[in-house]
Structure 1
Amino acid sequence: MNHDRYDNAYIADILKTTGTIALLGASPNPDRPSNRVMGFLLSKGYTVFPVNPGQAGKQILGQTVYKALADVPQPVDMVDVFRAAEYLDGVVDEALALDNPPKAIWGQLGVRDDKAAAKAEAVGIKVVMDRCPAIEYPRLAV
């Protein structure tokens, strides 16, 4: 898939069919984009599992933080990645190692790795990169 642009229906379908999200790189700092996006997603009714090894066992926006994707207590529909692009390939590997891989992997603004995306897409996982669901959701009136 070409990740230079996305069809609106492709992104809207991911947002409409997602109920649970693992947010990698979640921050307890309200000034950080990951914290604001997590709050937005929670406000829209998504179940969000924050993942951050340095915050594991603590709470962010009332949600328990997990050390790694594999520690999230239930399958997730989407993995939202707030980590540098160089880590996206490793995130895809972590997602593929799960008993129930996510239906989508979403790389936040600035997070793009076409080879990692191709690896995920090869097994049927949808990928969005260099986009923010908190921008796309209202833009597409999901």
Structure 2
Amino acid sequence: MYADTESVRRVLTDLGDTWAVVGLSGNQRRDAYGVAATLREFGKRVVPVHPRAETVLGERGYASLADVPFPVDVVDVFVNSTLAGEVADQAVRAGARAVWFQLGVIDEAAMERTRAAGLEVVMDRCPRIEIPRLEHARG
């Protein structure tokens, strides 16, 4: 397991409300779209980051994290594991507080670098699954 329940709770509730979802496009059939919609319902601002820089769920998109002109609290990594390390490094450079690697996005070296830089890390988990668990635990 790459993150304990407390880390998941901290990232979802304590580390800020602006989430950059890297890999989010306007394709409603993709998992990233559903996760972004769930994050919005949970009160998060979702910033799409995708090479096409599409507007998604009413939020302007950006081609890269470096293009986002305001602070991002959490970077949600929805790309192939081979690209995840570079995204994590960009998140560190952008001043994010946490990186969330989606289900199946695993890069242990990137996780270690990101933690060493002082960011909270969740790996191989999905906010769309974890948010209902968190809300259930709160009762």
Same fold (TM over 0.5): yes
- Listed as ranges, the gaps of 5+ residues in structure 1 are none
Equivalent residue for 1:68, pick from 64, 71, 77: 64
Give aligned-pair identity as a percent.
41
Per-residue displacement from partner, 1:73-118 (whole Å, max 9, x unpaired)? 21111000110111111112212222xx111100101001110010
Larger mean Cα displacement after TM superposition, 6-15 or 114-123? 6-15
Matched with 2:7 is 10
Mapped partners of 1:32, 1:88: distance in 2: 18
Aligned length: 135
Aligned 8 A contact 2:51 2:62 in 1: yes
Say yes or no: does 1:90 pair with 2:89.
no
SS in 2 for 1:60: coil
CA RMSD of aligned residues (A): 1.2
Aligned 8 A contact 2:7 2:122 in 1: no
Say yes or no: does 1:118 pair with 2:112.
yes
Per-residue displacement from partner, 1:17-72 (whole Å, max 9, x unpaired)? 13110000002111110011111111111011100012x1x311111110100111
Mapped partners of 2:112, 2:73: distance in 1: 18
- Listed as ranges, the gaps of 5+ residues in structure 2 are none
Structure 1 runs of 4+ aligned residues shifted over 4 Å read: none
SS in 1 for 2:39: helix
Equivalent residue for 2:96, pick from 96, 99, 102: 102
Mapped partners of 1:89, 1:9: distance in 2: 24
Equivalent residue for 1:59, pick from 55, 60, 66: 55
Aligned letter for 1:123? Answer: A
Aligned letter for 1:113? Answer: D
Mapped partners of 1:5, 1:117: distance in 2: 9
